[in-house]
A = this chain, B = another copy of it.
Amino acid sequence: MAPHLLMALDFPMDSVLFDYSRKERIGLPEAVFCDGKPYAVLVELLKRFAHEKKNPILFTRLSPEIFSSLPDAIKVCYSYDEISRTAYVETLPLKKTPSIAIVSAGTADSFVSHEAARTLEYLGYPYLMFEDCGVAGLWRLAGKLEAINECDCVIVVAGLDAALASVLGGLTPKPIFAVPTSIGYGMADNGRTALASMLVSCAQGIAVLNIDNGYGAACAAVRVINTAQRLT
């Protein structure tokens, strides 16, 4: 359970240490994961970065309840997206790299596929969305396969049985990062079944992220694109 939303700022903000050197070290800046952070800390951080345009920061898992509770003066500084629950003041400059494909099984997976998309947007990497490609109607994937394979890295987002990951893994030669989603009920087990299915996929070389971790998949794809770019 997330700790209580603190109403007053009695948190020692100077104990928060940003890892500003991370971008230089690994090519990816630190982001603020909002779930579980005390409310007063989040507000303080959102204030602190509201006018920061040189090193804009990405907030993930920022709930609409919290965002909408902010003073208007702060809110207007941010681009906030309810589906992905992400916020940023400005995106980093757009790179001229090959596109990343984001392929998802259904509409219910959009909170994850859009988190990946918004992260790429913020980091400045081009991407293409291919939604509603679940294998219960294979023709949907078939019609998009050529376009997917023109991208240079694939993020596949699926819940339930996650069969889309296996089918796509057998049809694309590109690096493929699979993100299980927590949709469904009963034995979907909050995404654990999709996760396990992806990990034991009969297709070779599929690598897997944590349940609902669209942000992480975007970062993994960026590691690939950055390295590939270095080689060109």
**A202 and B134: CB pair below 8 A?**
yes
Measured between alpha carbons, how far is A64 from B8 in the docked complex, in Å? 12
Residue of B nearest to A131 (CB): B15
Mark each residue of chain A from 210 to 231: 1 if its CB lies under 8 Å from any CB of chain B, else 0.
1111011111111110111111
**Identical chains bound together, number:** 8
Q: Which chain B residues lie closer than 8 Å to A148 at the CB level?
A: none
**Is A73 part of the binding interface, using a Cβ–Cβ cutoff of 8 Å?**
no
Mark each residue of chain A from 164 to 182: 1 if its CB lies under 8 Å from any CB of chain B, else 0.
0111011111111100101
**A202 and B25: CB pair below 8 A?**
no
> At the interface with chain B, which of A49-57, A88-96, A105-113?
A105-113
Given A132-B17, A174-B223 in contact, is the A210-B200 Cβ separation under 8 Å?
Answer: yes
Q: Which chain B residues lie closer than 8 Å to A176 at the CB level?
A: 223
Measured between alpha carbons, how far is A111 from B197 in the docked complex, in Å? 22
16 contacts between A and B (CB under 8 A): A4-B63, A6-B83, A10-B81, A12-B131, A17-B131, A17-B133, A25-B171, A35-B184, A135-B170, A163-B163, A187-B192, A187-B210, A197-B197, A207-B208, A207-B217, A231-B232
Q: A residues bordering B, Cβ < 8 Å?
A: 1, 3-4, 6-8, 10-12, 15-17, 19, 21-22, 25-28, 30-31, 33, 35-38, 41, 61, 63-65, 81-83, 85, 98, 105-108, 110-111, 129, 131-140, 152-153, 160-163, 165-167, 169-177, 180, 182-193, 195-213, 215-224, 226-232
